[in-house]
């Protein structure tokens, strides 16, 4: 995702080096934190969208499950009334909804995984933003002391604070892994499969078997 790529760019930046070379270190540090806050807000928006999509898929899945059950009941009623044609038509609708149920169930599973990935990415980024704020505050303080202590002291202070930037490197790796997982979760296959083509050949036989099964379970007329 382009969003996570932008986040990664921020994380790959060497904060120590940027602040050291900046004409106004405090201004640059504040801008860096602001940029990360904006990216966090965008990730939060993507999490909300993913959750909304997940709820929509859950609703669609439930609708088709209910429709499948309703058509099964109508088929049973048609058999009771000895209306085989109506029973066949009802069973046809039931099978169609059954296929839709399977499709939406798979999409819901994929969407649930994507939502969880985004949730984790948001939580990790939120924590790293907190760490970045603290790091910037420390670097600004160190920069102020360095200006008063001379070049030698400034170099030692920056070298010591450089170790703290490893937290940003870990965040970069986390975001890159989440980016790969999120991209993979979007690969939803929509092409018609060979199984779908072959199932069409024996659909009539399947419906006939379902019809006979319904008949066999009805009380015999005396």
Domain residue limits, the chain = 2-19+31-189
Tell which residue, 7, 24, 25, 5, has the closest CA to residue 16.
25
Tell me, what's the pLDDT at 128?
A: 75
pLDDT confidence tier of residue 96, bands split at 50, 70 and 90: very high
The contacts of residue 75 (CB under 8 Å, 6+ apart) are 86, 87, 90, 91, 94, 210, 211, 214
The answer to whether the CB of 172 falls within 8 A of the CB of 8 is: yes
Tell me, what's the pLDDT at 180?
A: 57
Tell me, what's the pLDDT at 35?
A: 82
The contacts of residue 56 (CB under 8 Å, 6+ apart) are none
Q: Report d(CA 53, CA 50) in Å as an integer.
A: 5
Mean pLDDT throughout 142-156? 64
Query: Of 27-41, 50-64, 166-180, which range is least confident?
Result: 166-180
pLDDT confidence tier of residue 87, bands split at 50, 70 and 90: very high
CA dihedral 112, 115, 120, 123 (to 10 degrees): -140
% of the chain surpassing 90 pLDDT: 30
């Amino acid at each position: 995702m382009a969003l996570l790529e932008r986040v990664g760019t921020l994380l790959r930046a060497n904060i120590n080096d940027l602040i050291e070379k900046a004409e106004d270190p405090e201004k640059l540090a504040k801008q860096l934190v602001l940029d990360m806050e904006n990216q966090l807000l965008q990730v939060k928006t993507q999490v909300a969208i993913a959750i909304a999509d997940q709820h929509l898929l859950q609703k669609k899945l439930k609708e088709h499950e209910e429709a499948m059950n309703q058509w099964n009941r109508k088929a049973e009623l048609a058999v009771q009334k000895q209306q085989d044609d109506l029973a066949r038509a009802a069973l046809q609708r039931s099978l169609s909804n059954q296929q839709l149920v399977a499709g939406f169930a798979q999409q819901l599973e994929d969407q649930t995984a994507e939502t969880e990935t985004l949730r984790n990415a948001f939580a990790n980024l939120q924590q790293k933003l907190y760490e970045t704020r603290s790091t910037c505050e420390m670097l600004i303080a160190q920069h102020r002391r360095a200006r008063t202590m001379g070049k030698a002291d400034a170099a030692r202070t920056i070298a010591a604070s450089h170790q703290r930037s490893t937290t940003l490197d870990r965040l970069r790796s986390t975001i890159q892994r989440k980016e790969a997982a999120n991209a993979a979760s979007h690969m939803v296959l929509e092409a018609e499969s060979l199984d779908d083509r072959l199932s069409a050949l024996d659909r009539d036989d399947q419906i006939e078997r379902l019809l006979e099964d319904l008949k066999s379970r009805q009380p015999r007329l005396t």
